[in-house]
Chains A and B, each alone.
Chain A
Amino acid sequence: MAYKIAVGSSDGINVDLKFGEVENFLIYEVTDHFKLIEQRSVSRETTELNNSGNTSNAAEISEFSLEKNCEKSNCKSSGCSGNGGGCGGAEGVLEKVSLIEDCRCVVCKKIGFQAQKQFEKKAISVFDVEVPIEEALEKITYYYEKIDNHKTLRL
């Protein structure tokens, strides 16, 4: 049975983004193999910004979008911890979680407690690992293949 996996990656090769940092989730579809089928944008504004090309360096983009995020959720910047840029409070997390709720699991470098709990509620598995995407997907699909078919994981 086909299912989808959401991955947080900046380069399409490694799982290297924290959940909060992800602006475009890479959505993979798994049938008997896995393939990239979609890039799902977290915030339309950010995407537009990217496309318009009126900013020259990447740092500016992320800084800008960080501010945007904070404005949107009325969150004071002092309350945002880390450089995740995903500080949207419970609301922001919920939005982001809903965005990929059709996926079976989500793979990011780190995923905060709030978000993990929200995923748990929707029965979406969370894998916070820092490995190449291919390795992650191979291991995850191997695991799902086994448990879906009631096969042992015993080596």
Chain B
Amino acid sequence: MAKLLDKQRYKCALGAMQSVQAITRALPILHSGPGCAQKLSESIGSSGYFSPNIFPCTSINEKDVVFGGVKKLNSTIENALKVIDADLYVVLTGCIPEIVGDDSGEVVSRFEDADKPVIYAPTAGFKGNNYKGHEQVVDAIVEQYLKKSETKQKGLVNIWADVPYQDLFWLGNLRELEKLISELGLTPNTIFGYNRGIENIDKIPEAEFNLLVSPWVGLNNMKKMERKLGIPYLHYKTLPIGATETSKFLREVGKFAGVAEEKVESVIKEHEDYYYYLIERYADLFLENRVINKQFTVVSDAHYALGITKFLANDLGLVPAKQFVVDDTPKNRREEIAEEFKKLNFGLEAEVSFETDGFKIHEEIKNHDYHGYPLVLGGYYEKEVTESLKGNFLNVSYPVQDKVVLDTSYVGYRGGIRLIEDIYTVAVQRFN
């Protein structure tokens, strides 16, 4: 019996077309029905040189289900190469061609000698959601495009973090992580966003190590790159938000990269001094216990649930109620992620539930005693339920409806301050 999923927080794997789009001058070629790109695209900063409305698509229909869509795929790739000027063409397959058994990989291999690279990522919806699809796209780049490099560039670090577009703050976050890494004297390399692209992809094999800042998304890519390109990786599970976590993050990255301890500490000191200067100035606001809620809940993917929970507990001293991870985390990763939620200051531990059903999450929120009004950070779906409990709500994760983010970031010292601003802006509105 088919199951219904209430308030879904992710898309099908073909949603990875957004990851491709985030790579400047990379073009997704969709081998899917005509409605797929339309349904998967949103107005969240996805217009521009390439936008979902112009992605080449085989627009397969009943005929291709019966007779196969291989011919159409071949001509679509051929013509895309002719009429669209891109640096990298990524063929993404939807459910239909994979169900009926089109050999898309074979078709793509016919374009090995094309002037521009054409690669292929199987992103059928039944294989998983767009977090998985994002991994597939990176995998495709590693597997089909990159080659092992004999030379290494000293201090070069590839940074992998958010899933572009799925995460509202992806651009700002990546840039902030880059900034932090370069302050340690290392050279960051990322492939997504403005002024990054095929040249950055080409640089990947020359890196000394990969830095993955994510609880689970991308871990398979890191392992693949370690095997194929011989690049070791540092898996840092927590998105560093605020002073406590960011300092921890810098120390760990510094240690892994062999950066002198004094150097790391001086970077940390400079940031922390300013950070705590700001906190001190507003101490009266933070210490006024009627303003902010006593307990909080985060409803988001593992990335933010973990990062924000640590930040609110460690830096703001709030008490975590139950946290909800809604990204359909693979079962074999859940335990170690749940362990991370227990590593909080002041001997606090957060209970976490890996739940994708919005109804169940809302029932739990309604039935929990928050010792006052709740503070809920989550998707837009949580707005109504939080309002019904007279709580404070901040939209931080998918789906986002009441927030426009161009390049803001919640990462690092600066990101922590941003998040405090946003949360307290909501909180003080209650009294004004």
The answer on a CB contact under 8 Å between B67 and A155 is no
Q: How far is the CA of A51 from the CA of B403 in the complex (A)?
A: 75
How far is the CB of B95 from the nearest CB of chain A, in Å? Answer: 10
| B 42-69 contacts with A by CB, 8 A | 62-63, 65-67
The answer on a CB contact under 8 Å between A155 and B100 is yes
The answer on a CB contact under 8 Å between B63 and A129 is yes
Against B, the Cβ 8 Å flags (1 = close, 0 = not) of A19-39 are: 000000000000000000000
The answer on a CB contact under 8 Å between A125 and B65 is no
Q: How far is the CA of A119 from the CA of B66 in the complex (A)?
A: 18
The answer on a CB contact under 8 Å between A153 and B63 is no
Q: Told that A127-B63, A143-B65 touch, could you supply 19 new A-B pairs with CB distance under 8 A? A: A125-B62, A125-B63, A126-B63, A127-B62, A127-B66, A128-B63, A129-B67, A131-B67, A136-B67, A139-B66, A139-B67, A140-B66, A143-B66, A153-B65, A153-B99, A153-B100, A154-B99, A155-B99, A155-B100
Q: Which A-chain residue is minimally distant from B63 (CB atoms)?
A: A127
| Contact-size category for B | under 10
Show 7 A/B contacts (Cβ-Cβ < 8 Å), sorted by A: A125-B62, A126-B63, A127-B67, A129-B63, A131-B67, A155-B99, A155-B100
Verify if B105 is at the interface (C-beta below 8 Å from A).
Answer: no
Residues of B within 8 A of A126 (CB): 63
Main secondary structure of the interface of A (DSSP, over half): mixed
How far is the CB of B217 from the nearest CB of chain A, in Å? Answer: 27
Q: How far is the CA of A139 from the CA of B100 in the complex (A)?
A: 12
Verify if A78 is at the interface (C-beta below 8 Å from B).
Answer: no
How many chain A residues touch B (CB < 8 A): the figure is: 14
| B 109-163 contacts with A by CB, 8 A | none
Interface residues of A (CB under 8 A from B): 125-129, 131, 136, 139-140, 143, 152-155
The answer on a CB contact under 8 Å between B101 and A155 is yes
How far is the CB of A141 from the nearest CB of chain B, in Å? Answer: 10
Residues of B within 8 A of A125 (CB): 62-63
Residues of A within 8 A of B100 (CB): 153, 155
Q: Which B-chain residue is minimally distant from A127 (CB atoms)?
A: B63
Residues of B within 8 A of A155 (CB): 99-101
How far is the CB of A78 from the nearest CB of chain B, in Å? Answer: 30
How far is the CB of A75 from the nearest CB of chain B, in Å? Answer: 29
